[in-house]
Structure 1
Amino acid sequence: MTVTLGQYPSARPPRVALVGECMIEMRAEPDALYTQTFGGDTLNAAVYLSRLSAGSAMVTDYITAIGADSFSVAMRQLWRDEGVGDQHVRVIKDALPGLYFIQTDEQGERRFVYWRGEAAARRVFDGPDADALLQALAGYDYVYLSGISLAILTPGGRERLMDALRQARQAGTRIVFDNNYRPHLWPDTQTARQVYSDMLRLTDLALITWEDDVALFGYADHEALFQAYAGFGVGEVALKCGAAPCVIQCAAGRFEVPAERVPRIVDTTAAGDSFSAAYLACRLQGGPPQLAARWGHQLAARVVQHQGALIPVAAMPSLHMPSFSSVAEA
């Protein structure tokens, strides 16, 4: 079953849940010191989505598990300060958040070093204490998650999440999936392919990094990818290709949207996450896919000119929504 992506404004503002993991981020500075903050692919997307919907009544919630330590308390306060709801955050008292270090080269390309094996988010959907979180998914209009969201879970927790997503989608929830394939998080490629294939059969909007899908599925070209996704039943695909144009496949056709020129790249951390957040923010506010891709490129271009995953609010680009007499459903 293919379900088209709904568009806001509608009868009421949408409720969006993002599922994943927030970690402690340590960012290398030129003086050999490190700056400590927080980040994670779906958390980055949640923050940028919240910022881009500020002033509207859209609900942006984060679903995860954290510990009871001071870092967990601080990251949860950051979400609240950014307008990201935490009503469905599970606290596992004997666990801690994951940790990662960012190192960047002279071209701004980043290298990550992770400590996440015992992170609380791995167990977010394990045991009876997860029942309320899983049931809550059907109360949202949109659920956003990534390949990393799936990879970090225990096998049992992942199966429970997939079952809950199936039930939520049958009840009308639409699913947004960012592929974010990280081979080292999976036991083997075949397991990852099976999980991704199952996930794509539930997906309404896919936000795909080309290099990641080449690594996972081995697609020879864009046409092979789009044919495969049509077979999965994905109604809308935004294919992110780095500095090359984004390619969109939807009911209205196929479009290319050029990327923004960036004078100097400082740090590519969260480039894809910010693109995805801006794309979704535009679509949920009534924008067509081409405009959504332009929003994505503009925000990503600004993000890569700053260090770290989350840029200062003052550095956010001004993204405008034209007045449409009618917006074509894609």
Structure 2
Amino acid sequence: MKRLVSIGECMLELSAAKGDLWRMGIAGDTLNTAWYARACLPADWVVAYGTCIGTDEVSQRIPTFLAENGLETDRVLTHPTRSVGLYMISLHDGERSFTYWRDTSAARTLASDPDRLLALTADANVLHVSGITLAILPPVGRAALIEVLRQRRSEGCTISFDPNLRPRLWENPQSAVEALTEMARVATIVLPSFDDERTAFGDATPDDTVTRYVALGVDTVVVKNGGGRIAASHGGRRSEFDGFARVTPVDTTGAGDSFNGAFLAAVASGQPLHEAVASGHCIARQVVGHRGGLMPKDKISKTQMD
């Protein structure tokens, strides 16, 4: 079996229901990517989620949730005293903002044990991490994870990276720039969002973002752009994709993550770049019409990807 492993922080998600009621879900950027990769990959692929949770009752809901939705749980680590993080979604005209409670999240320790980190990344054909995965780790753990991913790439594993910048998670802007750049040097595929790259690196256009990552040695770069023109490069050849169908979003939570999952599924299945980009857009367009980070798999249409 071929295996895609997505690594990061799995959190409890609170989204508005009716009146003063809130709906609890389970989500997180790299979990969202694993979810949509599982929805889009054929049955001969295994999708696993790598994280660290607590031993408390709330934490233990997560492995059950993952297994019920077709995700392997053998890479879910546990911490004896910590629990999972929590975030609340606020919406205004379809755009989301978040309030977090995650300082004592068990996932902050997922790279603290070298042996467990090696086990977490073993036997994978594709490994996916994000800037949030890096940001929640202490500097020592961050460096350890990057080094293990460097080793896995040298062994032939495809390393996927979404920089997914969240400034409040970082010690300072310079630390973010340095870590994201170092991680990109390790990655085979980088899937940045242009708004983030403009904020962190001062890129004037998506093409500038592509140029910067290609200069770092990245083989495949696809710059997400909120449904607008996508600039990309693969194997040294530049491309751009435009003219996508646009929709008015209900909730943009998980849009970039769903693009990542569908794109990686297409690439892993051997589809060319233009088809992988179209697959990513097809899924993301559906997800922004759904409230919450995870759209039920039975509601996801893959018509444009078949």
Q: TM-score, normalised by structure 2?
A: 0.95
Alignment CA distance shift 1:258-1:146 (3 Å): farther
Is structure 2 residue 242 aligned with structure 1 residue 270? no
Match of 2:55 among 63, 68, 89: 68
The answer (yes or no) to whether the contact 2:3–2:47 under 8 Å persists in 1 is yes
User: By how many angstroms is 1:76 displaced?
Assistant: 1.3
2:119 & 2:43 partners in 1: Cα distance? 26
Distance 2:261 2:305 in 1: 15
SS of the residue corresponding to residue 38 of structure 2 reads helix
Q: Secondary structure at the match of 1:200?
A: helix
Alignment of 1:107-186 (within 5 A): 107-127=93-113, 130-186=114-170
Q: Shift of the alpha carbon at 1:221? A: 2.0
Whole-Å separation in 2 of the counterparts to 1:321 and 1:272: 17
Name the counterpart of 2:84.
Answer: 97
Separation (CA, whole Å) in 1 of partners of 2:268 and 2:298: 23
Q: Counterpart of 1:102 in 2: which secondary structure?
A: strand
Check conservation: 2:162, 2:191, Cα contact below 8 A.
yes
Q: Say if 2:251 and 2:292, in contact at 8 Å, map to a contact too.
A: yes
2:244 to 259, 268, 275: 259
Alignment partner of 1:26 out of 14, 18, 24: 14
Q: Return the match for 1:217 from 191, 194, 201.
A: 201
Gaps of 5+ in 1: 1-12, 323-330
Alignment CA distance shift 1:224-1:318 (3 Å): closer
Match in the other structure for 2:32: 44
Letter in 1 for 2:213: Y
The sequence identity of aligned pairs, in percent, is 35
Report the alpha carbon displacement of residue 79 of structure 1 after superposing the two structures with TM.
Answer: 0.8
Q: Which residue of 2 aligns with 1:289?
A: 273
Q: Secondary structure at the match of 1:283?
A: helix
Partner Cα distance (1:195, 1:35) in 2: 35
Q: d(CA) in 1 for partners of 2:219 and 2:294?
A: 30
2:218 corresponds to: 234
1:320 CA drift (Å): 5.1
Aligned partners of 1:37 and 1:230: how far apart in 2?
A: 37
- Contact 1:125 1:160 (8 Å CA) reproduced: yes
The number of aligned residues is 305
Amino acid at match of 1:296: G
Q: Could you give the per-residue CA deviations for residues 16-71 of structure 1, whole angstroms, max 9, x where no partner exists? A: 11110100001012422100011100001111111112x52101111110001122
- The match for 2:301 among 311, 314, 317 is 317
Q: CA RMSD in A?
A: 1.5
What are the residue-to-residue correspondences of 1:298-309 with 2, within 5 Å? Answer: 298-309=282-293
Contact 2:279 2:305 in 1 (8 A): no
Structure 1 runs of 4+ off > 4 angstroms?
A: none
What do the CA deviations read for 1:231-252 (whole angstroms, capped 9, x no partner)?
A: 1001111110003122221124
**Conserved 8 A contact 2:38-2:71:** yes
Gaps of 5+ in 2: none
Contact 1:138 1:169 in 2 (8 A): no
Contact 1:257 1:294 in 2 (8 A): no
Distance 1:227 1:276, change over 3 A: same
Whole-Å separation in 2 of the counterparts to 1:28 and 1:321: 32
Q: Is the 8 A contact 1:125 1:134 kept in 2?
A: no
- Asked if structure 2 preserves the Cα contact closer than 8 Å seen for 1:142 and 1:174, the reply is yes
Q: Is the 8 A contact 1:27 1:103 kept in 2?
A: yes
Which residue matches 1:250?
A: 234
Partner AA of 1:258 in structure 2? G
Alignment deviations for residues 130-169 of structure 1 (CA, whole Å, 9 cap, x no partner):
5133244242111100000000011221121111111111
Cα drift, residue 173 of structure 1: 1.3
Once residues 280 and 319 of structure 1 are traced to their aligned partners in structure 2, the CA distance between those partners, rounded to angstroms, is 17
What TM-score do the two structures reach when normalised by structure 1? Answer: 0.89
Change (3 A) 1:180 1:21: same
Q: Which amino acid aligns with 1:168?
A: R
Measure how far apart 1:313 and its partner are: 2.2
